[in-house]
Amino acid sequence: MIKLIYHKPGTAPASLQVEGSMETMPPVINLIRYDETTYEEISCGDAASAIGQLDRRKMNWINVEGLHDTENVRILASHFGLNPLMIEDIVTTQRPKIEETDKGIFLITTMIYRDTEQSLGVEVEQLSMFFNKNTVLTFQSENRKDPFTGVRKRLAQQGTLIRKSAADFLAYALLDNAIDHFFPVLEMIGTESETLEENLIRNPTKAALKDLFQNKRVLLEMRRIAWPLREVIGHLLRDDSGYVKESTRIFLKDCNDHVTQAIDIAESFRDLTAGLMDIYHSSLSFRTNEIMRVLTLVSTFFIPLTFLAGVYGMNFNTEKPWNMPELNWAYGYPAFWVVVLLTAGGMLLFFRRKKWL
Amino acid sequence: MIKLIYHKPGTAPASLQVEGSMETMPPVINLIRYDETTYEEISCGDAASAIGQLDRRKMNWINVEGLHDTENVRILASHFGLNPLMIEDIVTTQRPKIEETDKGIFLITTMIYRDTEQSLGVEVEQLSMFFNKNTVLTFQSENRKDPFTGVRKRLAQQGTLIRKSAADFLAYALLDNAIDHFFPVLEMIGTESETLEENLIRNPTKAALKDLFQNKRVLLEMRRIAWPLREVIGHLLRDDSGYVKESTRIFLKDCNDHVTQAIDIAESFRDLTAGLMDIYHSSLSFRTNEIMRVLTLVSTFFIPLTFLAGVYGMNFNTEKPWNMPELNWAYGYPAFWVVVLLTAGGMLLFFRRKKWL
Amino acid sequence: MIKLIYHKPGTAPASLQVEGSMETMPPVINLIRYDETTYEEISCGDAASAIGQLDRRKMNWINVEGLHDTENVRILASHFGLNPLMIEDIVTTQRPKIEETDKGIFLITTMIYRDTEQSLGVEVEQLSMFFNKNTVLTFQSENRKDPFTGVRKRLAQQGTLIRKSAADFLAYALLDNAIDHFFPVLEMIGTESETLEENLIRNPTKAALKDLFQNKRVLLEMRRIAWPLREVIGHLLRDDSGYVKESTRIFLKDCNDHVTQAIDIAESFRDLTAGLMDIYHSSLSFRTNEIMRVLTLVSTFFIPLTFLAGVYGMNFNTEKPWNMPELNWAYGYPAFWVVVLLTAGGMLLFFRRKKWL
Amino acid sequence: MIKLIYHKPGTAPASLQVEGSMETMPPVINLIRYDETTYEEISCGDAASAIGQLDRRKMNWINVEGLHDTENVRILASHFGLNPLMIEDIVTTQRPKIEETDKGIFLITTMIYRDTEQSLGVEVEQLSMFFNKNTVLTFQSENRKDPFTGVRKRLAQQGTLIRKSAADFLAYALLDNAIDHFFPVLEMIGTESETLEENLIRNPTKAALKDLFQNKRVLLEMRRIAWPLREVIGHLLRDDSGYVKESTRIFLKDCNDHVTQAIDIAESFRDLTAGLMDIYHSSLSFRTNEIMRVLTLVSTFFIPLTFLAGVYGMNFNTEKPWNMPELNWAYGYPAFWVVVLLTAGGMLLFFRRKKWL
Amino acid sequence: MIKLIYHKPGTAPASLQVEGSMETMPPVINLIRYDETTYEEISCGDAASAIGQLDRRKMNWINVEGLHDTENVRILASHFGLNPLMIEDIVTTQRPKIEETDKGIFLITTMIYRDTEQSLGVEVEQLSMFFNKNTVLTFQSENRKDPFTGVRKRLAQQGTLIRKSAADFLAYALLDNAIDHFFPVLEMIGTESETLEENLIRNPTKAALKDLFQNKRVLLEMRRIAWPLREVIGHLLRDDSGYVKESTRIFLKDCNDHVTQAIDIAESFRDLTAGLMDIYHSSLSFRTNEIMRVLTLVSTFFIPLTFLAGVYGMNFNTEKPWNMPELNWAYGYPAFWVVVLLTAGGMLLFFRRKKWL
């Protein structure tokens, strides 16, 4: 789940030589120019073309999906004054963090969102963002799903708050969107946990074990992201660089509450998941116990009786008076059954007293 | 247990488009107007009617049960100057939090209370509250049980402290009431734990496992609520907006002690519940062990003897001198029993030495 | 173990309507008046009588055992100026806490002490205390054992430090006494743990499991009490109300060291108890393993041989040349035993190689 | 894994008498002299020779691999003004730490890097470092692998940032290199964990258990190192001795982010490893359960039937009318099979209802 | 392991009436007088004699081993101005702590050292120490091993740093010695853990379980001591009473690093020990699983075949045409073996598919 893309040990700092698995699909670069009255969406072939079409009198949002082509990333990021260490951070796996520069604010977070096509499907994607007064630059590490559909729709719609606001509000909206995506994931885990509880108590299977572990992994990942993300938002709240407007603060505070809420629920779910693991163990033990009980009942019932039958199946020469006179006794067979029934009855009583029956 | 109602990802902040399960019963709006001498309880059809009947010279308490009809919530909350983000918070699941505005104090908490009709029944309900100098506005997320009966009774009674005090005291009384409800829940878990301990040691069943897990879930939920609730109360204690009177502080301090006490006990119970889980496991293992012992005793006792009986049940032609001369020996059968009894005695000794008998 | 007595939800703050189990024995009120030269112990019928016999020129210690009769508690406490919320605290279960008033210092703690009459017996009792310059007022929640014997003896003896000192020293002595009682309990658990370790490894029984859980419960309870108690003592150490004399501070510091020491040992014991639980599990698994081994050895040894004996016990018509010619072979029976012994020998080798024998 | 080399108890502080295992290979001393235009690598026989070849107008890096010959260490370290306690620290196992002196900065860290020749191979090596304005002195505790290849390559290459910078940048580069080596180790554990998960669910083996424990050990070791290492870097960041240039700070900040990232991932992996242990247990229990089920099915199926067959194998004298008249009944044998099939069918139904089949 | 000697509850503070087990051997009092040129070791009969032989112009170290004779302790301690509460602390079990007085510095710690005569042998002993400008007074709670041999040797040797320094350096040397003793204990546990890992995976025995628990106990004890010990040293480092010289600080700092290092390693070992416990459980489960597999294989293989053999051992009257015509069939016996071999083959295939073979 944790996809590690890292700087090769020994290479110079800020080098873009990275190791770890990465998709090799070409990146998609997309520019949205908007102000209160106009809205344009432009698909750009490469970084240079995107830079060429920026409009300083409007708000601009450049979104890059897929980071395999590090050169495009470098060109775009350098254009806005990001230092080489930041560019390295964009193309490698990072924990959420924020850095203020005099050119704007740079931050990294990781998005977790539901992939509704798969049961228990969750996508994890790193989002690097830079914004100054009138531009937001975002880099998504994958180009598969689009978690920003909602934001784009609000941008396209005239009269929305987002259309009337500056770049910092767009940056907030994207962050908020990333955090909002936590909740469907948490809901999925919550619902799944309830189903799992029922199933585990009734019938503990290997598939349930896998699902449990998958939930655990998602929750761990969420925790790993949410804690530093809260610091990032806290930093934005206290920011005094001027790139975050006063009016955006109240929304960031709301954002902060949401991420804290997500952390709280995720922690509760982690404890519940641990509890479900316990239930899995117990349920398995319970079933083994039950199976053993049946085996023991049947075995201890019939094994002594089989021995008895075996005895009277022996071929000792009954003409010798000491050898198995029972066999020639007129009521030997009925007596055998009496002994069998008595033994069986005694055992039933013993089992009942032990509460095994 | 954690019922998640959340803002749909991608929608504008403060939108009232929510996702997650919610009851669809119509909300109940209730207005209580009181001062030292008068007391009226008015059932209102909608938000507008409630607003129309407010009396500025008295204290007013508007209680809304059930939040499905977000429009009523919006109208009421806007009337008292709550901002749209707060309104969104009211209709979605939130952790306990508090916000001061110049119009009054807004806070959210979650109530946990006993549903005495069900064994181990616990209700969880979000309570949003806003109060200024002479009005308290409360929103309960469900309209099922009424956890406020006690407060209403004291309000209806002339001469009580609550009748003589301002809105902040009513707000305190409702919060205190919410916290007081923790203790019957804790008591239920404590009593249940003692019963469970006995039962688990004697006979570990699946029902007990479910009860244990249910207790664990309630305690987790309580912890998730109580910690931020303590912060909320601490905030009220240090509040300097003027909406909390000096005379109410001492009661809030008491409230604070109670929530800390609840946290302490809940933590102890969480540890005890983990211990009970251990006991469950051990008890199951113990039983399996005991069952296995019986199986082993019976099997190891009779299997060798059955073999012996089997041997003398073989049909080798005894006319050949090397074939089973024992069968024709006069004392073959008694000798068989001697061997059987000796073997059995030896095994008994072995079992006794192993402490299995 | 945690006996919850709580304020009924919905009742007015400071009401003395409580819920939870409480003993209904009549309270015992006891007044001790002393100064350097005189010492009197007076048994009082009710609160009024105790108040009437206070002597302002001497030190007075009023001790109330059993709180069922809340009216006596209310009268006494009100006389010394405790506010109604404090009185409610006295009769309900509280965590250790301290409150300064201008009338004196009010504190609550919980005592844990050995009940030596029972094996592993531990008593838990809430102690509420109020003291001003010349009076100490104490409320014990139960009236069973007397944990204060030692203090009383020192009081009765002329020339002791306690006789020469003021009320704050008596208050310290009672607190110190409460903390000193932790150590015999800890010693009991330590000794018990060592015995348990031996027993659990040798023979894991249900009784041992119960003892383990009982120890765990006592340690949890001690932790729940000791941490806030340390805060209480810290508060007394830093107190500047004038009710705690400078000369008493050094003794309080010692007290503080002792409670920290108790916390440390209790934490270590908690970890050891968790380890013993692990040993219990392992020991059970070990025994099951051993039992299974015996069963498997005996079964795998004899089951194949029994099959063989069964084969030659079949009644196929041996007059047909293809049917069991072995039976008519002169050395059939010796050959049978050779096969049996070879099989048995092979199995022994296999078991030895598997280290099961 | 934790190789302890420690000061013998009772010896004088700063004595170089150490205990614990240490390699006895002769140390390798290596001097690199460089400035923007020149670069020389000199292999030195002993400490004196290295000191003799230092060039004050250039940057010097003396690297000592293997610390068995403590005399060489003492001579070199003393030359640069390290106090005897620091020298003792170099030759014994230490946690990462930093000390500023007026002669330069002394720090100790531990490197963890992949030994790609072995599956799951990880090397642990202590690195002591001292640097002043123009010299970096490093001591590697082992002389096996060379984790610094990358840095050396960048040093050898003209025009790199490292060639243009002072000794503090080289010190940073070595530290950064040490931290970069964490990520391949973490990646190895991540990949291994995914493989393990699959394997453990399918077939829990002892080899997997060993691998799990090995991963756990590496993660523990990493945690033990990374936390104090972060403090060391934090200290360097806030350093005001003048030995760390302003321009190096931004790189150290990046370094700090990386170590925090490593800690985060390591913690997640620790939780996942604990989860895998759980899966191991569950998977074993599941298999035992399955095996038991087969045993129970077969046994409970055939044991009663075998008893029945045993009964009709008895040799009671059938001439007596009460003895086994069934044997002489014309349809006795078919009736036997009817009973057998009915019993078997009943059991199948029972097993199906229990979900064991 | 934790030997509790405590103040009897109810006795006056500072009373020397203690409870808990204590050795009753007579104490050994030993005085060492030294300065740069002279060194004398004097064995004293009692406290008074030791006091009489103090030499104010030299450094004096009085060491008392064994505290059973509390009177001697009282005389000595009072002579140097220790208050009664401190004297009580010396004879009872205390956590490490430090107290400054105007007469000197009083501190308590606990020493843990290897008892090399026993495998896994560890001694625990409380060390109380008081020092002023020219005297160090130490009390060891036991009089068995001598952990101070190294220090004594350095003292006896002329020209060592310790001989040239004042009493504070001797105090430091004793503390440092106590901490140095941690490392051989840790090394023992580390080595033992590696052996245990191998053994536990191969063959989990009860002896290994005991060793594991013993290691756990030592590590818990070490943690309980090391954390407050670090505070004690931190306190000495920041001390401004004048009893600790500036030149000793750097050594104390080193001491501080060592205790932190010991804590780190002990924590890692605690986690490893928990992991070994897991391995123990898993290994046992694995073995049970393996044993069960063999039992199941053999049983499910032979039980059906035994049934078949039983069937043809029945004595139905074969003269009736429906009764067991197989017995009279010419190829009945070969057909029986064909059925047996087919069944056996089918089972082998089933077992192989289940990966049980």
Average pLDDT for chain D: 89
**A10: nearest CA partner in chain D:** D150
Both tokens assigned to D92:
């014994």
B 310-349 near A (Cβ less than 8 A) = 310, 312-315, 318, 324, 326-334, 336
Predicted pLDDT at E2: 63
* Binary contact (B216, A271; C-beta < 8 A): yes
- Helix E206-237 / helix C246-311 crossing angle, nearest 10 deg: 160
- pLDDT tens-place string over residues D271-298: 999 999 999 999 999 999 999 999 999 9
Question: Is B301:B341 a contact under the CB 8 Å cutoff?
Answer: no
Confidence at E22, pLDDT banded by 50, 70, 90: low
Q: Nearest by CB to D2, which of E268, E295, E307?
A: E268
Burial of D268 (0-12, 13-18, 19+ CB in 10 A): buried
pLDDT of residue C273: 93
Q: How confident is the model at residue C121 (pLDDT cuts 50, 70, 90)?
A: confident
- In degrees to the nearest 10, what's the CA dihedral of E65, E66, E70, E73? 10
Indicate whether C95 pLDDT > 70. yes
Chain segment E97-136, per-residue pLDDT in tens: 999 999 999 999 999 998 888 888 888 999 999 999 999 9
Q: Does E22 touch chain C (CB under 8 A)?
A: no
Tell me the C-alpha distance between A270 and A264, whole Å: 10
Give the residue from chain C lying closest to E97, CA to CA.
C257
B213 touches chain A (CB under 8 A): yes
Using alpha carbons only, give the angle E339, E342, E345 rounded to the nearest 5 degrees. 150
Q: Answer yes or no: do D314 and A315 touch at CB < 8 A.
A: no
* CA distances for E178 relative to D106, E59, E66, E246, angstroms: 26, 21, 17, 22
Q: Measure in Å the smallest separation between the Cα of C282 and chain E Cα atoms.
A: 6
Contacts of D324 in chain E (CB under 8 A): 315
Neighbours of chain E (3+ CB pairs under 8 A): C, D
Chains contacting C with at least 3 CB pairs below 8 Å?
B, E
CA-to-CA separations, A253 to A236, A249, B80, C129, C138, in angstroms, rounded: 10, 6, 21, 45, 49
Residue D123 neighbours by CB under 8 Å, 6+ apart: D111, D112, D113, D114, D115, D142, D144, D145, D147
B314–C328 CB contact, under 8 Å:
no
Percent of chain B predicted with pLDDT > 70: 98
Burial per residue of D25-55, b for 16 or more beta-carbon CB atoms within 10 angstroms, e otherwise: eebebbbbbbeeeebeeeebebbeebbeeee
Q: Does E270 touch chain D (CB under 8 A)?
A: no
Q: How many Cα atoms are found within 13 Å in the side-chain-facing hemisphere of D76?
A: 35
Question: Which band of pLDDT confidence, cut at 50, 70 and 90, is reported for residue C234?
Answer: very high
Q: How far apart are the C-alpha atoms of E258 and E136, rounded to whole Å? A: 23
Name the band, by pLDDT with cuts 50, 70 and 90, for residue D138.
very high
ipTM: 0.85
| Structure tokens, D106 | 């002394």
Q: Is the model's pLDDT at D321 over the cut of 90?
A: no
Residue % of chain A over a pLDDT of 70: 98
Confidence label for B23 from pLDDT (cuts 50, 70 and 90) = low
Q: Per-residue pLDDT tens for B141-170?
A: 887 677 898 899 999 998 889 999 999 999
Residue A212 identity: L
Chains touching A (at least 3 CB pairs under 8 A) are B, D
Contact by Cβ (8 Å): E80, E135: yes
Residue range A293-304, pLDDT digits in tens: 999 999 988 999
Residue-level pLDDT at E225: 93
Domains and CATH numbers, chain A: 6-283 (3.30.460.20), 290-353 (1.20.58.340)
What pLDDT was estimated at residue C24? 65
- pLDDT the model gives residue E285: 92
D322 → closest Cβ in A221, A288, A334: A334
**Mean pLDDT of all residues belonging to chain C:** 89
**pLDDT, position E143:** 73
Contact assignment for C316 to E334 by CB distance below 8 Å: no
What pLDDT, on the 0 to 100 scale, is given for residue C325? 86
Residue C2: which pLDDT band, with cuts at 50, 70 and 90?
Answer: low
Q: Are A208 and A200 in contact (CB under 8 A)?
A: yes
Q: Which residue of A has its CA nearest to B317?
A: A315
Angle D206-237/E182-202 helices, nearest 10 degrees?
150
Residues in A closer than 8 angstroms to D173, CB to CB, are 13
- Return the SS3 of E30: strand
The model's pLDDT over D326-351, given as tens digits with 9 standing for 90+, comes to 888 888 899 999 999 999 899 889 88
Chain C partners within 8 Å of E217 (Cβ): 272, 275
E8 at C interface, C-beta within 8 A: yes
Q: Give the chain D residue nearest E281 (alpha carbons).
A: D281
Place of tokens 């390559």: D153
pLDDT per position as a tens digit, B314-355: 988 888 888 888 888 888 899 999 999 999 899 889 888 888
pLDDT tens-digit series, residues A115-172 = 888 888 888 999 999 999 999 999 998 877 778 988 999 999 988 899 999 999 999 9
Please name the member of B213, B299, B312 whose beta carbon is closest to the beta carbon of A316: B312
- Of D137 and E46, the structure prediction assigns the larger pLDDT to D137
Q: Which residue of B has its CA nearest to A190?
A: B2
Query: How far C84 CA lies from chain B's nearest CA (Å)?
Result: 10
- Mean pLDDT within B37-61: 92
Chain C interface disruption, residue of E22, E91, E209, most C CBs within 10 A: E209
**A5 has a pLDDT exceeding 90:** no
> What mean pLDDT do residues A68-91 have?
90
Among B169, B233, B282, the strongest candidate for a mutation testing the C interface, having the largest count of C CBs within 10 A, is B282
Residues E58-71 have pLDDT tens digits of 999 999 998 888 88
Whether C284 and chain E come into contact, CB under 8 Å, resolves to no
Give how far C329 is from chain B: nearest CA, Å: 8
In this prediction, residues A71-89 reach a mean pLDDT of 92
pLDDT band at D183 (very low <50, low <70, confident <90, very high): very high
Is the Cβ pair C220, B268 closer than 8 Å?
yes
Helix (H) or strand (E) holding D123: strand D122-131
3-state secondary structure (DSSP) of residue E304: helix
Measured N-to-C along each axis, helices E246-311 and D246-311 cross at an angle, to the nearest 10 degrees, of 20
Task: Determine the pLDDT at residue C82.
Answer: 94
Q: Output the pLDDT for position C22.
A: 60
Taking an 8 Å cut-off on Cβ atoms, the answer to whether C356 and E291 are in contact is: yes
Per-residue pLDDT of B185-197, as tens digits, reads 999 999 999 899 9
Do the chains contact at D7 and E180, CB–CB below 8 Å?
Answer: yes
Gap from C294 CA to chain E (nearest CA, Å)? 10
pLDDT exceeding 70 applies to what percent of chain D? 98
Of E216, E221, E299, the CB nearest to C275: E216
Rounded-to-integer distance, Cα D77 and Cα B212, Å: 63
Return the bridge partners of E62, or none.
E31, E137
Task: Look at B50-59, D17-26, E344-353 and tell me which has the smallest mean pLDDT.
Answer: D17-26
Residue-level pLDDT at B2:
64
C148 contacts in chain E (CB < 8 Å): 10
Q: Is the CB of D216 less than 8 angstroms away from the CB of E303?
A: no
User: From residue A307, how far is each of A191, A329, B311 by CA, in Å?
Assistant: 55, 20, 12
The predicted-structure confidence for C49-65, as pLDDT tens digits, reads as follows 999 999 999 999 999 98
What is the Cα–Cα distance from B61 to B81, expressed in whole angstroms? 16
Q: Is the pLDDT of residue D60 over 90?
A: yes
Residue of D nearest to A326 (CA): D316
Determine the pLDDT at residue E278: 92
Q: Each residue of A240-250: pLDDT tens digit?
A: 888 999 999 99
Q: Where does E203-331 have alpha helices with state H?
A: 206-237, 246-311, 325-328
From chain A, the residues in CB contact with B313 under 8 A are 310, 313-315
Chain B neighbours (≥3 Cβ pairs under 8 A) are A, C
User: Which whole-number Å values give the CA distances from C258 to A213, C181, C233, C323, in the listed order?
Assistant: 45, 11, 11, 89
- What lies within 8 Å, CB to CB, of E302 at 6+ separation is C303, C304, C306, C307
Angle, CA D109 vertex, CA D103 and CA D113 arms, to 5°: 140
Give the closest of D217, D280, D310 to E282, CB-based.
D280
Q: pLDDT digit string (tens) for A266-311?
A: 999 999 999 999 999 999 999 999 999 999 999 988 999 999 999 9
User: Contact B190/C20, CB-based, under 8 Å?
Assistant: no
User: Cβ–Cβ of B151/C13 closer than 8 Å?
Assistant: no
Q: Is the pLDDT of residue C89 over 60?
A: yes
Residues 171-210 of B with CB under 8 A from A: 203-204, 206, 209-210
Q: Is residue D59 scored above 90 in pLDDT? A: yes
At residue E269 the predicted structure's pLDDT band, cuts being 50, 70 and 90, is very high
Contact state of E213 with C279 under an 8 Å Cβ cutoff: yes
- Check D334 against E322: CB less than 8 A apart: yes
Residue D260 touches chain A, beta carbons under 8 Å: yes
B290 touches chain C (CB under 8 A): no
Kindly determine whether residue E329 and residue C320, on different chains, have CB atoms separated by under 8 Å.
Answer: yes
- Examine the pLDDT at D14 and tell me if it is beyond 70: yes
Residue of B nearest to C224 (CA): B264
A55 pLDDT band (50/70/90 cuts)? Answer: very high
Neighbours of A205 (CB within 10 A): 14
> Inter-chain contact A306–B306, Cβ cutoff 8 Å?
yes
Taking residues A189-209, report their average pLDDT. Answer: 90
Average pLDDT rounded to a whole number, residues D113-127: 87
> What string of DSSP letters covers D205-244?
-HHHHHHHHHHHHHHHHHHHHHHHHHHHHHHHHT--SSSS
pLDDT value of residue B220: 93
CA proximity to C306, closest of E299, B311, A304: B311
Closest CA in chain C for residue E225: C264
Cβ density class A127-151: b for 16+ within 10 Å, e for less: bbbbbbebbbbbbbbbbebebbebb
Residue of D278, D324, D352, D354 best to disrupt the A interface, most CBs of A under 10 A: D278
pLDDT score of A2 more than 70 = no
- Tell me the C-alpha distance between D70 and D332, whole Å: 95
The pLDDT assigned to E115 comes to 85
User: Strand A59-65 relative to strand A135-140: parallel, antiparallel, unpaired?
Assistant: parallel
| Distance in Å, alpha carbon of D59 to nearest chain E alpha carbon | 31
